Amino acid sequence: MGKSFTLSLRSRLMLIVLISWLIGGALAYWLGGDWQSPLPLLALFLGALMSLLVTAWLTRPVNDAIKAMELGLLNLIDNDFSVSLPQSKDPELGHLAVLFNRASGELRRERQHIYQRELLLDKVIQNSPNLMLLLDGSGHIIYANDSARHGLVGGKPLTGMTMAGLADQLDEAMAHMLQEGTDGLFALECDGETETWHLSRSRFHLNGLEHQLILLKQMTRELNRQEVAVWKKVIRVISHELNNSLAPMRSMVNSGRVLAGRLKEPRLNLIFDTIDKRTEHLGQFIEGYARFARLPRPIKTEVDMGRLCHELKLQLAFNIEGELPAEPVWADEIQLQQVLINLIKNAHESGSDPGEVSLSVRRQQSSEPGVLIEVSDRGPGMSPEVLSQALLPFYSTKQQGTGLGLALCREIIEAHDGRISLQNRSGGGLQVQLFLPQSSLV
């Protein structure tokens, strides 16, 4: 089958006029013309030619408008919404151009709105701490945010990789969870610490094709916060009940002293003095936990680490390792000082030689910029069991310890959006590492 031959609208109009002219002329000469004379035929030919020229001139605006409309529609197909049609003097063509320009303007504004929302969504996804992977129906990764690239493969591109290929480069527990196809919590060992992760999957259809979205969320900090919140609630309840019991005990002691004075029995005064001292000690003990339970949010200001370390050296003996950063740290100075005092005191109480207790502060410019503070000693260190529980409230290996020191340090550092970790040093001793992220710095 050959291609069908079609005429444009303008050609059809010209052909209709020509045929009408020829038919009219033929009828006129058939009814009263002289067919033997060449003049009528010449007149008929010239009339036909003039009709074609006049028709072409009259239909030129229509032809130009159709071509402009065709070009505009092609631009819309190519996602170019900046095109607009020129106004025509013809009312119908002018109205058509107005409608086209209005539609083009609406599409242009809608596209700009969608583009802005896409930029915002991409910004949110790329800056999300959650690891995000989008897979097509064949199991290939078609999208991965920055957290996924840096958290899984050190920043290398993931697009086009299969899950099997990705699993070969991951920790065994992470690879197992990604390939298992189920949701839930799992634990990873990272730098001697156990991190808890949550994996969730969702499947959906896009353009008729099945896709899978995988989200990995680091849950360690959130679980720690929930754990501390539970401890604080327990402490508040215990403090309330103990205070309710101590108040009448103090009142009874005072009444007992009055009675003992009347009886003139010195042993009773000794008993009441002992009770009074123990209740006073218990009250101070409860107040310490109460302060932990109502620790205020940090009020961050510029902290000069050189000045802060100088003030600490007036109270405690320790060495400063390396150069202190000249730039100030954005933190709550009172709370940060309290953390360092607790850690340096713990280092002294560990049995370490005071000359072996050291403090270092340095800026970290890596994949996670921030400031790193380390307090080290050469004591006996901690057993694995103690390391796993040392940051919990109430837990202490000291005979007179309250179990608040390290728990308070963790609460303060995490309130600064940082983290605290403990590890034994090679050759003996303990190192406590504090990290404050870039968002906490000036």
Which domain does 393 fall in, by range? 301-440
pLDDT per residue over 254-313, tens digit each?
777 777 777 776 777 777 777 777 777 777 766 766 666 667 788 888 888 889 998 898
Residue 411's Cβ-side half-sphere holds a number of Cα atoms within 13 Å equal to: 25
Evaluate whether 25 touches 44 at the Cβ level (below 8 Å): yes
Would the CA dihedral through 84, 87, 90, 96 be positive or negative?
positive
Percentage of the residues of the chain whose pLDDT score is greater than 90: 6
Residue 27: pLDDT band (50, 70, 90) is: low
Same domain, 305 and 436: yes
Same domain, 289 and 308: no
Query: In whole numbers, what is the pLDDT of the chain averaged over residues?
Result: 77
User: Does residue 2 form part of some domain?
Assistant: no
User: Does residue 36 form part of some domain?
Assistant: yes
Same domain, 252 and 315: no
pLDDT per residue over 118-145, tens digit each?
888 788 888 777 888 888 888 888 888 8
What CATH number is attached to the domain comprising 382? 3.30.565.10
pLDDT for res 430: 92
Tell me whether strands 131-135 and 209-218 are parallel, antiparallel or unpaired. antiparallel
Domain count, the chain: 4
pLDDT for res 442: 45
CA 66 distance to own-chain centroid: 51
Residue 282's Cβ-side half-sphere holds a number of Cα atoms within 13 Å equal to: 18
User: Does residue 77 form part of some domain?
Assistant: yes
The domain boundary, picked from 97, 117, 137, lies at 117
Same domain, 181 and 151: yes
pLDDT per residue over 152-204, tens digit each?
888 888 888 888 888 888 877 778 778 777 777 777 766 556 677 788 888 88
Same domain, 331 and 436: yes
Same domain, 287 and 350: no
Residues 5-19: what's their mean pLDDT? 58
Same domain, 101 and 136: no
Same domain, 308 and 418: yes
Specify the amino acid at residue 249: M
pLDDT for res 432: 92
Same domain, 272 and 378: no
In the structure encoding, which two tokens stand for residue 309, read together? 């370390």
The domain boundary, picked from 251, 274, 293, lies at 293
User: Coil, strand, or helix at residue 394?
Assistant: coil
pLDDT for res 359: 93
Residue 141, H or E segment: strand 141-144
The domain boundary, picked from 293, 323, 346, lies at 293
The yes-or-no verdict on residue 370 having pLDDT over 50 is yes
The yes-or-no verdict on residue 68 having pLDDT over 90 is no
The yes-or-no verdict on residue 376 having pLDDT over 90 is yes
Same domain, 285 and 390: no
User: Does residue 3 form part of some domain?
Assistant: no
User: Coil, strand, or helix at residue 276?
Assistant: helix
Burial (CB < 10 A; 0-12, 13-18, 19+), residue 48, is middle
Dist. CA 223–CA 407, nearest whole Å = 15
Dist. CA 145–CA 127, nearest whole Å = 8
User: Does residue 123 form part of some domain?
Assistant: no
User: Does residue 210 form part of some domain?
Assistant: yes
- Per DSSP, the residues of 248-260 read HHHHHHHHHHHHH
Same domain, 149 and 162: yes
Q: Which of 31-45, 98-112, 243-257, 313-327 has the lowest mean pLDDT?
A: 31-45
Same domain, 326 and 408: yes
Nearest to 340 by CA among 292, 392, 406, 394: 406
User: Does residue 4 form part of some domain?
Assistant: no
Q: Which residue has the higher pLDDT, 312 or 59?
A: 312
What CATH number is attached to the domain comprising 184? 3.30.450.20
Evaluate whether 213 touches 128 at the Cβ level (below 8 Å): no
pLDDT for res 58: 63
User: Does residue 98 form part of some domain?
Assistant: yes
